[in-house]
Structure 1
Amino acid sequence: MSADSVAAPRLSLNVRYNRNIQENSGEEEERKVEILEDEEHHADLGPQRARPHTQNNSAANNRRCFKATAVTLGGFYLLMLAGLFIRFTLLQTQYDQLINNNSQLQRSYKTLSVNHSQLQNEVKQLKNRTEEKWCSDGSTRLGRSCYFKSKEEKTWSGSRADCQQRGADLVIINNKEEQKFVTELSKDGESWIGLQYERSQGWKWVDGSPLAETIWASGLTHYEGYPPTCCDQQGKWTQRYDSEKKNGICEKKI
């Protein structure tokens, strides 16, 4: 059944009703018509009144959604800030611990350095005392050797034997400093030194090392059988007969 067929009987009924009213009283007819018109007017206004209400509900829903989103984002940001703060606190704690450990290591290093210096001084003092014991009986120390001048004059061979009996040998001069030192020891007269001549090897020291630096006096012929002595007035080496008797300069390695 269509919508027009349903509405038609209602329209005819309203018309018949209105006509009956017209026969009885013209005033009542006008009232009914007005009522119908008002009802139709109110019926027409119904959808118009509903539209603002629907719009208000939509705006309210939008506000609620925005508010819920803002609250959610705010909570998320607060959680992020809390996590960053905790992370920063942990890093700061670790940094403070590293600084403290570094300070402790520096203090330990300074303590070890002081102890090391003290040990070095003690070792040096002990070494000096030991060397002094080795250089006793009137000997004089220079570097790693003790030097002394024999009290009895003997030939070169006899002076060397005397040095060897005391755990030493005739002096071996390796540098200018040692040459100056030996010159001071023999200032009271020439003394035998540990230099000898061999036909197969030439001049060499008593320990077998070759002669590297010579401090010969000028005008010497360097005869083979003439062992050298130290020193003349100019601090140079000279030669004497091996049968002559001289003091010997002995050197004892420490």
Structure 2
Amino acid sequence: MAADTVAAPHLSLNVRYKRNVKENSGEEEENQVEILEDEEHHAELKPQRARPRSPVASNRRSFRATAVTLGGVYLLLLAGLFIRFTLLQTRYDQLSSNYSQIQRKVFDISIENSQLQSSYETLSVNHSQLQDEVKHLKTRMKEKLCPDGWTRSGCSCYFKSEERKYWFESTSDCKKRGADLVVINNEEEQKFVAELSKDGEFCIGLLQRLSQKGLEWGWIDNSPLTET
């Protein structure tokens, strides 16, 4: 298929020749040639038929297609960055919440630690006091040694007399020795007294008193009698 042709432009040139001769010298002359182009006729040149497709237009279309593609890529990048930012913000909120919970737990543990420290100090003071009391009791026990002829059991000293006396006489004899007839306070002491008096009969600090209910047994230190 033949390509469309464009009519060849017709140019008209105007030539103007000037000759200038200086009167004084007669030797030098200046020649000037002016070529004038018929601009009006050149400007009116137009294609008589449709022009072929310009490479510039194709380049423009390619550029627009490339711009649209790049715009889509940028939009996808922006969407990805927005999603990434949203996920990071959610993760940050979760970490912030966990950090707040950990801070509260640390604060509670600090309070409990302070309370435990205070309790420990109180127990330490009580322990020191108990140690002092134990030392004092040990000192008293060492100082309170049983005299000759007396038998020690626990914190008390017991004396078994070989003389035969009545109950009231036995009470008076104990008073003279700075003691009293035995008062049994517990099962351990009862076993000890029974073992001490297994080879005879002995008086103990038990007597009958008159009360509103009649005669009742009781200890000489006014503590009630219990069969246990």
TM-score range, shorter chain: 0.3 to 0.5
Q: TM-score normalized by structure 2?
A: 0.47
Q: Which has the higher helix share?
A: 1
Higher relative contact order (CA 8 A, sep 6+): 1
